[in-house]
Structure 1
């Protein structure tokens, strides 16, 4: 933030004042203005690309070990600023402080540490060919653009930046317009850790700013976390110059509870997969399939535990359910709840906006559980991105697998059962990129994360991410005589 009180773009290692228009970012829990944010236009994007080109020349010439040390130092600085950044993330997103303090900043630091540790080992291979040999070199792509989502601003910025930077690329990152505050803090941390200017840049704005990046001929790769429609637009723009693309998109994931499951563990999984971060998580298991024999007791205990959840001020450490991202999104979620009721689903708990006291000024909605759901209902088929769970009965294993796969999405899936043979058998047949057995929504940085079908292309995290931020060069070396028939 410059001394004008306006959040500017971060370009070439410093804030860049501009004369373009600003937009307001709001606290979704109160509706209050948090900051004025500068919209990056063509001049700012061109400046960011030019800075990234210069930064890339320096950064890519450094050894992997040198890059790794800077990323590791940045991880330490993030952890040291956890309380400050978690509070900022809570103000910007409406998420409970107990979540942002425990997960959001630390998970970003985990990512920087992991890829910082890998940076020195990103080598090719030697291939013995007898009188000759070949080797491969793993090289950076160039300048990568990262486009973030509003639900995990800091974490997503780190998920995209860490593997890109470990491979020797430069990055221009555009945070979601609804949550723009912490990406520039990551840029400050990188600078303090010793990263050369221009290696990591931040531009803010709306879809138009993102499109300036996705269409720019100087950018080699685009990584997006967002919804399917945006993913299609990004891929279309990137195709014109054959950019590399990674897309982590939406989902309508199944969570399957067999009748031999540990009931409380399964309920915990269903709650984590629907109510954590007010349900604003792309991998959420919002279609909860429960085997009929277990259904009544599952619903009874689920409702009891949901009733005990604490909705409140996101800055209160006791709060478990915070605000949705804003009024517009709140109305979308409430609209789905009303459609669910109209289509015949039973809202056994929740389903209303919170209007009492100070919370009435914010975008709060009660955690909602729908029972007696059918596969053709809107709340079952369409991504809501709010704390709305649909519970469906099933009878047989083959039946639930077929129903679970009957969706254009394929981001995630969960299976709860004591029978591990059945668990592995079921997972093998589920069309999902990320699956959990007897847990849900646990995403350690070491494990690749991503989807199939309309849920995306490529993977975040784990060693698999290296493939998406680097390219191989093959080199043949002749040791013997060259035979020529001419």
Structure 2
């Protein structure tokens, strides 16, 4: 129990419930602060409910984050970053870099290495230490992901790896193959909508200005990443990307010391670090007079 570690009894409570439990908590007069990690539609409902009593609210919502690979990047590292930014936790991570923009000069080699490493991933029981990718959280989520894979095929993307439900996994679980699409365009469903599953979209680009414009053309603004050997360019690019959390030559690393959170439809406020603690406190101002009051009247 947490109180044995020094927390006062009653400070931390876990309440389980159904879809009616959340509104009761958000509307309760004794709840002063609401923090939500969830979808954009849920975030809008929670923010509207909290506004009725002017509760403090922070939200970490959805994402469709760009991961940009320039032609001078270490390709093995960039492939590893793309896989970490798409397949970690079976793709069920809000910050995942699911739009992988690769400069045209290295696109073919990037896809070759990505395909080989993706197809070699071991799918299986998450309790087995050898497993590299486990099941989806539910049957409904697996069906949603599979439907997006079919949309990708129907809209003209090129299937590079995966693309369905594996038939060689023993035991229970709602599994989906780690899936990579190439030749994805900005208007495709798999490039615009959050899938929340192991589906990577690879898009190509010519130059820096172009990719920044396309990367920012999204309602989301949670995260983003850049792989390049030119750190000056890396900092220039991340400065122009409209996202709250950005990585250079790595992806999805979130030590507790750094703030994490998004912008635009991806929410507001920050998790981790001192920035998060500030959302759970209020400044109190006290002015102490040290002499007689010299009133002008």
Report the TM range for the smaller structure's normalisation.
over 0.9
The aligned residue for residue 265 of structure 1 is 77
Partner residue of 1:254 out of 66, 75, 78: 66
8 A contact 2:136–2:174 mirrored in 1: yes
Question: Residue 299 of structure 1: SS of its match in structure 2?
Answer: helix
Residue 53 (structure 2) pairs with residue 241 (structure 1): yes
1:314, 1:281 → 2: CA distance?
Answer: 16
The aligned residue for residue 369 of structure 1 is 180
Question: Residue 30 of structure 2: SS of its match in structure 1?
Answer: coil
More helix by share: 1
Question: Residue 266 of structure 1: SS of its match in structure 2?
Answer: helix
Residue 95 (structure 2) pairs with residue 314 (structure 1): no
The aligned residue for residue 226 of structure 1 is 38
Alignment of 1:88-107 (within 5 A): none
2:179, 2:5 → 1: CA distance?
Answer: 44
1:368-410 Cα shifts (integer Å, max 9, x gaps): 0001110000000000000000000000100000000000000
1:357, 1:214 → 2: CA distance?
Answer: 41
1:332-357 Cα shifts (integer Å, max 9, x gaps): 00000000000000111101112335
CA RMSD of aligned residues (A): 0.9
Residue 190 (structure 2) pairs with residue 379 (structure 1): yes
1:157-176 Cα shifts (integer Å, max 9, x gaps): xxxxxxxxxxxxxxxxxxxx
Segments of 4+ in structure 1 off by > 6 A? none
Residue 249 (structure 2) pairs with residue 438 (structure 1): yes
The aligned residue for residue 331 of structure 1 is 143
Partner residue of 2:158 out of 321, 325, 346: 346
Residue 279 (structure 2) pairs with residue 468 (structure 1): yes
Partner residue of 1:392 out of 203, 216, 223: 203
8 A contact 2:222–2:263 mirrored in 1: yes
Partner residue of 1:408 out of 213, 219, 230: 219
1:384, 1:481 → 2: CA distance?
Answer: 66
8 A contact 2:124–2:170 mirrored in 1: no
Residue 113 (structure 2) pairs with residue 301 (structure 1): yes
Alignment of 1:10-25 (within 5 A): none
Question: Residue 220 of structure 2: SS of its match in structure 1?
Answer: coil
2:290, 2:5 → 1: CA distance?
Answer: 45
CA 338–201 in structure 1, closer or farther in 2 if over 3 Å, else same: same
Gaps of 5+ in 2: none
2:6, 2:202 → 1: CA distance?
Answer: 50
2:6, 2:83 → 1: CA distance?
Answer: 41
1:205, 1:363 → 2: CA distance?
Answer: 23
Alignment of 1:146-157 (within 5 A): none
Residue 78 (structure 2) pairs with residue 287 (structure 1): no
Aligned-residue offset at 1:307: 1.1
8 A contact 2:78–2:227 mirrored in 1: yes
1:482, 1:313 → 2: CA distance?
Answer: 74
Larger radius of gyration: 1
Alignment of 1:3-82 (within 5 A): none
Residue 25 (structure 2) pairs with residue 195 (structure 1): no
1:106-135 Cα shifts (integer Å, max 9, x gaps): xxxxxxxxxxxxxxxxxxxxxxxxxxxxxx
1:261, 1:472 → 2: CA distance?
Answer: 45
Question: Residue 392 of structure 1: SS of its match in structure 2?
Answer: strand
The aligned residue for residue 267 of structure 2 is 456
Question: Residue 288 of structure 2: SS of its match in structure 1?
Answer: strand
1:385, 1:405 → 2: CA distance?
Answer: 20
Question: Residue 386 of structure 1: SS of its match in structure 2?
Answer: coil
1:450, 1:457 → 2: CA distance?
Answer: 7
Gaps of 5+ in 1: 1-188
1:262-311 Cα shifts (integer Å, max 9, x gaps): 00010000000001111000000000000000100000010011111000
